[in-house]
């Protein structure tokens, strides 16, 4: 099983996690992608990497130019694409390049569209949004599978806006942003001493000015109640002055990027994980299920989420977490928090099965089968007669 994976950023840790999943599922992967860093990595998570050039966050015109250049020069990759069974494209821009490659190189590989975010431009009522939605619908008609990380993307956008199930007939696959756990061993969970002050951890992709304002202000006026610890990769183009604001905020710290090996310590030192995002409120921010929703509880931290969006509905469905109706409720909720109440919330998290937060080798193999259209024999591992079965 060979997969050609087209990605928007070779240096994105989430890309590395997906590649690791595919390889753990038995696939041979080559990754084609742009990069935000100065230098291109020779490989990503053990997969050979093909550099498509550097793009810059927030510079839409420059990215369009790079996409166009990549699309018209795909023939040079034919030798690395011709053996692919599946072409997996992460986000719309990469789907356009992947489709160009399939046409130019006369490939018969399955085309899978992986959508993990719905950019606000896709919902724009003006000509730009209309054009992007038209392009997306046209490309989706040539796809064999649509893969999303949240069910709300299907109901609110692909079905509600793009006509999936009405004008578009395309199988779908939900793959949540769970932690990859190939060893099947639950990590040791450190338990911080009960507050106050209650420590809130905001880890991962940091991209919400409203959240930063609220957390910094609460830490400033109530140092007795809350401390904020931030780690990860801030999208500095969406902030007024991320570094200046954090440095000037008492009770708020930023430790920079981290690796998976750092997670037990990072989450072991906080009581709660911030799972609230307003970057695209009413749209993508209301629909997504972020990685921290699984990563934090996996290591014992209790997620804080808005009750009226998909993250809050997810927590309610699974019976754990701390939902709040609005940011204005945060101070009151934490002020009313007692050690006993926190222990009960922590107990809800610890009672969740491993599969709520992590996926193992079996799930990785199942993912690869579904990307392949079910043509990989499902019973081969158990020594049973191999039969092709359509599972996607």
pLDDT tens string 241-261: 999 999 989 999 999 999 888
Residue 79 pLDDT exceeds 60: yes
Neighbours of 349 (CB within 10 A): 23
Task: Please report the pLDDT score of residue 374 as a whole number.
Answer: 65
Stated pTM of the model: 0.87
Average pLDDT of span 9-33:
92
Task: Please report the pLDDT score of residue 151 as a whole number.
Answer: 96
Q: How far apart are CA 282 and CA 197, in angstroms?
A: 32
Judge if the upstream peptide bond of residue 106 is cis by omega within 30 degrees of 0: no
Least confident of 47-51, 131-135, 159-163, 275-279: 47-51
Residue 379 pLDDT exceeds 50: no
User: Contact at 8 Å (CB) between 164 and 154?
Assistant: yes
- CB < 8 Å & 24+ apart, contacts of 373-377: 373/110, 373/144, 373/145, 376/1, 376/26
Average pLDDT of span 307-331:
95
What token pair was written down for 180?
Answer: 């990859």
Task: Give the rounded percent of residues in the chain with a pLDDT score beyond 90.
Answer: 68
Higher-confidence residue: 221 or 35? 221
Strand partners of residue 110: 86
Phi-psi region of 28 (alpha: psi -120 to 50; beta: other; left: phi over 0): beta
**245, burial (CB in 10 Å: exposed 0-12, middle 13-18, buried 19+):** middle
Q: How confident is the model at residue 67 (pLDDT cuts 50, 70, 90)?
A: low
Q: Identify the DSSP state of 157.
A: I
Structural domains in the chain? 2-182+360-382 (3.40.50.2000), 198-355 (3.40.50.2000)
Q: How far apart are CA 159 and CA 151, in angstroms?
A: 11
Q: Which residues contact 1 (CB under 8 A, 6 or more apart)?
A: 26, 27, 28, 85, 86, 368, 372, 376
Residue 321 pLDDT exceeds 80: yes
Strand partners of residue 114: 90, 147
Strand pairing of 47-54 and 43-44? antiparallel
Question: Could you give the dihedral angle defined by the CA atoms of residues 213, 218, 220 and 226, in that order, rounded to the nearest 10 degrees?
Answer: -130
User: Contact at 8 Å (CB) between 228 and 197?
Assistant: no
Neighbours of 282 (CB within 10 A): 11
Average pLDDT of span 57-77:
64
Q: Give the pLDDT confidence of 126-142 residue by residue, as tens digits.
A: 999 999 999 999 999 99
């Amino acid at each position: 099983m060979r997969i050609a994976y087209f990605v928007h950023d070779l240096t994105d840790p989430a890309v590395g996690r997906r590649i690791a999943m595919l390889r753990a599922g038995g696939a041979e992967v080559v990754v084609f992608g742009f990069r935000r860093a100065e230098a291109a990595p020779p490989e990503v998570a053990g997969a050979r990497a093909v550099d498509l050039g550097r793009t810059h966050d927030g510079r839409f015109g420059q990215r369009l130019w790079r996409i166009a250049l990549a699309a018209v020069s795909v023939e040079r990759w034919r030798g690395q694409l011709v053996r692919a069974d599946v072409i997996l494209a992460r986000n719309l821009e990469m789907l356009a390049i992947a489709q160009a490659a399939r046409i130019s190189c006369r490939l018969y590989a399955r085309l899978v569209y992986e959508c993990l975010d719905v950019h606000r431009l896709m919902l724009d009522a003006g000509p730009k949004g209309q054009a992007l939605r038209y392009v997306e619908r046209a490309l989706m008609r040539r796809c064999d599978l649509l893969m999303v990380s949240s069910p709300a993307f299907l109901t609110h956008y692909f079905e509600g806006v793009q006509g999936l199930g009405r004008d578009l007939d395309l199988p779908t696959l939900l793959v949540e942003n769970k932690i990859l756990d190939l060893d099947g061993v639950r990590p040791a969970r450190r338990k911080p001493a009960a507050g106050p002050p209650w420590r809130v951890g905001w880890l991962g992709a940091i991209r919400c000015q409203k959240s930063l304002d609220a957390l910094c202000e609460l830490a400033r006026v109530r140092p007795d109640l809350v401390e904020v610890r931030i780690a990860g990769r801030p999208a500095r183009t969406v902030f007024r002055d991320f570094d200046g604001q954090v440095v000037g905020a008492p009770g708020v710290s930023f430790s920079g990027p981290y690796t998976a090996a750092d997670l037990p310590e990072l989450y072991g030192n906080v009581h709660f994980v911030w799972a609230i995002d307003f970057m695209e409120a009413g749209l993508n921010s209301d629909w997504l299920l972020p990685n921290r929703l699984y990563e934090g509880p996996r290591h014992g931290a209790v997620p804080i989420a808005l009750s009226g969006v998909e993250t809050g509905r997810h927590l309610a469905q699974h019976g754990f977490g701390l939902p709040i109706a609005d940011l204005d409720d945060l101070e009151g909720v934490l002020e009313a928090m007692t050690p006993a109440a926190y222990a009960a919330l922590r107990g809800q998290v610890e009672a969740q099965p491993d599969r709520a937060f992590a996926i193992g080798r079996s799930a990785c193999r199942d993912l690869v089968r579904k990307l392949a259209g079910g043509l990989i024999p499902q019973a081969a591992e158990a020594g049973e007669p191999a039969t092709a079965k359509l599972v996607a």
